[in-house]
Amino acid sequence: MQSPSAASPDLIVIGFHALSDPLRISVIELLRNKELCVCDLCDALGVSQSKLSFHLKTLKEAGLVRSRQEGRWIYYALNIPQIAVLEQYLSEFRRLYQMLPARFCKDPS
């Protein structure tokens, strides 16, 4: 796995852009537990295959999902190493939390 500092800034930007759409977040959530066929994703999300294909292409280009073909169906799964790169990138901001004045660190709830 690449460290965030070694990861291309473009790859990080593309990854976060891919996560900026509610439908793509829903795809990521569905794939969290298991690989799914594109037909199962369409059924679960209530969208057409043509609409979903656009979003899956965006997620795949960002490296967040991977695909494999089995017969006439394409199956999608999370690409955990790329998700970990984005997670690591964000986790580096935790150290900034310790530098903030106490009034900014209080839990708003």
22 inside domain: yes
Burial group, residue 14, by CB count within 10 angstroms (0-12, 13-18, 19+): middle
The tens digit of pLDDT for each residue in 12-25 reads: 999 999 999 999 99
Considering the domain boundaries, does residue 66 fall inside one?
yes
CATH code of residue 16: 1.10.10.10
> Has residue 100 got a pLDDT over 50?
yes
pTM, two decimals, is 0.79
Residue 37 lies in a domain: yes
Residue 26 placed within a domain: yes
pLDDT single digits (tens) 17-48: 999 999 999 999 999 999 999 999 999 999 99
Please report whether residue 32 resides in a domain. yes
Domain that holds residue 40: 9-101
Residue 15 CA to residue 94 CA, distance in Å, equals 20
Query: Tokens for 11?
Result: 């790859």
Residue 72: phi and psi, rounded to 5, are -95, 0
Q: What is the rounded CA–CA span in Å between residue 12 and residue 18?
A: 10
Domain count for the chain? 1
Confidence of residue 1 (pLDDT cuts 50, 70, 90): very low
